[in-house]
Structures are given as structure tokens and as C-alpha cells.
Amino acid sequence: MNIATQGRIYSLLFAAITLLFTGCQGKKTDDDSNVGKDSLAADSAVKKLPRPVSEPLVTHIYTADPSAHVFNGRIYIYPSHDIESNTPQDDEGGHFDMKDYHVLSMDSVGGKVTDHGVALDIKDVPWAGRQMWAPDAAYKNGKYYLYFPAKDKKDVFHIGVATSSSPTGPFKAEPNYIKGSYSIDPAVFTDTDGKSYMYFGGIWGGQLQRWTNGNYDSAGSKTDLQKDSLPAIGPRVALMSSDMLSFASPVREIKILDPEGKPLLGGDHDRRFFEAAWMHKYNGKYYFSYSTGDTHYIAYATGSSPYGPFTYQGVILNPVVGWTNHHSIVEINGRWYLFYHDSVFSKDKTHLRTVKVTELKYRPDGSIETLDAYYK
């Protein structure tokens, strides 16, 4: 039995177990103007699932993969926009067929959430073919930058960039993707010295395993399963140029080590990198967090350099309802928060997710307390 099959069985078992718990209802969003065929309204009477510790930020559209930032004292969330496209499901994520991005914002966690509408549409990205997956955003040089992955006309993932004078867009895409970029899940981190770095990559459907030699191998493996006894495929990092539109250094592979200093192996599915890179800094230490994919953890590793290596430390968030998880971590008014998604309100449909937020807490030694998305 391959890991993809195991993952699907895991999700089905998890969903079956959660039928024993009490279901819950979603809160009403402040913007019901966009209720349409992808609305949660039809799914409000959900099957019995575990009671979540956090409610969706919005329920009039499906949102996932939240990248949260504080700009000018306001919280902005840059999620992907899930839709029902009726694309057949496959192990490479073909059913995640997103076509645009919305921007959400709020004054404070738990406050009124505003959906600012479409910030960028795939039809306005000259090089893109399909599948606009998890984005991120940054501010520099008096501009806002939206970074996003999409498949080009040959079905190869690259990372594009679009700019705006407003954090809510609309964003205007550059005519081509960032030279040297590939795979998915861009996350841009600006250090205290002003230097910015992009972290990216995702195996399996994210195609990272097809770039092991620096060039795309169209006949390469669809998964990472062939080399379980070798060091796991690592995420990538590149220094950003001063204008934030290109890479200023060659792309590097990041090493994630176990506590003994040995590289995590490809077969270590509970700890190895799968997708959803995120970087933040706490008390002078670099925290690299990510999704383990088919085992459904949000894990983290720490290091003394933005380039790594990073040493595995533990789990931030236990598995959620749905197959994927993707997160961001941000400090807001002196407190830290974890933004994430799950599939409770779409009745565990893996490609129809909703974004949530919960407080993140550190122990005195700097380690992060493991969170559960549901009450026990």
C-alpha cells in the first residue's frame, strides 16, 4: 500500500471517528454579498464532526493556506480561494483548481472580517495556465507584493509576483514568473537587517522532487517515495533582490536535522518536510515551520541562520479534518497567533477549506506548545 493510499485511509478513518463528536455551526460573516455556488450556506447543516476551538474567519467563500501579516496596524490575510471546479481528484492535487485570490482583513483577532474581493485573477497573469495555489505577501519600497504559485502553459509550477499600492490590491502581475523559481508555497520573510528571503517548495503535486538536479524532469517521480532511506528532499530558500521582484542569489536547499544532527530521512513521514514553509523569528532564533503532508502535522525546526540548517523540535498543530494543512505565524500586539485551515464546514471535502486562527504559546525555553484544533 503506498503512502498516498494510506493518507486517504487515514483521512477516512479520522472523519469516521469524528462522527462520534458534536457538530457545530459557523459564524456569520460581515460580507454576504458574494454568496454563490461556492458558498458555505448549503453546507451549514454539517455532519457531526469534532467541535473546533476556532471558527472560520469567513463563511461566504472557501479559503485556505492563510498567510497573515500586520501592515499599518491592521491584520491582512492572504489565502488561496477554494472552489468547486468539478476537476477529478488525483494524488497530484488536480482538484485544487483555484483561479483567483481574495484578501481578508480585520482590526483584531476575533473582530469583524472584511473580504476585499478579488485581488488577482489567473486570467490577468500572462504566463499562468492553471491552479493558483497558496500565496504570500510582503511590503517594501512603498509597495505591496503578492507572491503566488501557478502552473505555466506546460503544467510546470513556478512562482509569480504581483504588485500594488494597497495591501488589498488589486495586484498587477509581472509578465513572467520569477526567474529560477519553481514548485509551490512561497513564503517571504524579512529579517531585522532588512534582507528578505523566499522559502518555497512542495513535494508530490508541488513537483519539488522533479527538480533535484536543478532542472525540471518531466518524467521524474510523482512522489518522494523512492528514496526513503536517504536524506529527505529539502525546502528551498533564496535571497530576494532589493526590488523584491527577483532572486539575488542562487536557490539553496535547506537541511532539516534530527536532534542528533543527522538529516531527516525521506521515510520519516512524521517529521520530514512536505510543503507549506513559513519562517518567523522569536527571541533572536529562526523558527522554520512546515507541513508534513501525508501525516498531517504542522511541525517546526529552529536554527541560528535564515539559511539553516534547522533542527527539528516538534509539532505545532496536530492533524485537522481534511487532508491538507497550511499555516502562518504572526505576532499581533505582543501575542503570537497561528493561522491555519480545516475542512469541517465542507463536510471533510479536502479541496473546500476554511481559514481559522488560534493563539500560539511559547514555553520559557522557547519551545512551542502543541495545539489541537478541536476540543477533546
Amino acid, res. 249: S
Contact 213, 229 (CB under 8 A): no
Distance CA 86, CA 325 (A): 21
Which of 219, 178, 184, 179 lies closest to 199, judged by CA?
184
Residues 291, 274: Cα–Cα separation, whole Å: 6
Length of the chain equals: 376
CB 268 within 8 A of CB 257: no
Backbone angles phi, psi at 66, to 5 degrees: -75, 125
Instruction: Say which residue the cell 484544533 belongs to.
Output: 373
User: Is-catalytic flag, 275?
Assistant: yes
- Catalytic entry in 65, 115, 224, 348: 65
Q: Which of 115, 224, 275, 348 is catalytic?
A: 275
Q: What is the 3-state secondary structure (H, E, C) of the chain?
A: CCHHHHHHHHHHHHHHHHCCCCCCCCCCCCCCCCCCCCCCHHHCCCCCCCCECCCCCCCCCEEEEEEEEEECCEEEEEEEEECCCCCCCCCCCCCCCCCEEEEEEECCCCCCEEEEEEEEEHHHCCCEEECCCCCEEEEECCEEEEEEEEEECCCCEEEEEEEECCCCCCCEECCCCCCCCCCCCCEEEECCCCCEEEEECCCHHHCHHHHCCCCCCCCCCCCCHHHCCCECCCCEEEEECCCCCCECCCCEECCEECCCCCECECCCCCCCCCEEEEEEEECCEEEEEEECHHHCCEEEEEECCCCCCEEEEEEEECCCCCCCCCCEEEEECCEEEEEEEECHHHCCCCCCCEEEEEEECECCCCCECCECCECC
369 in catalytic set: no
Active site residues: 65, 275
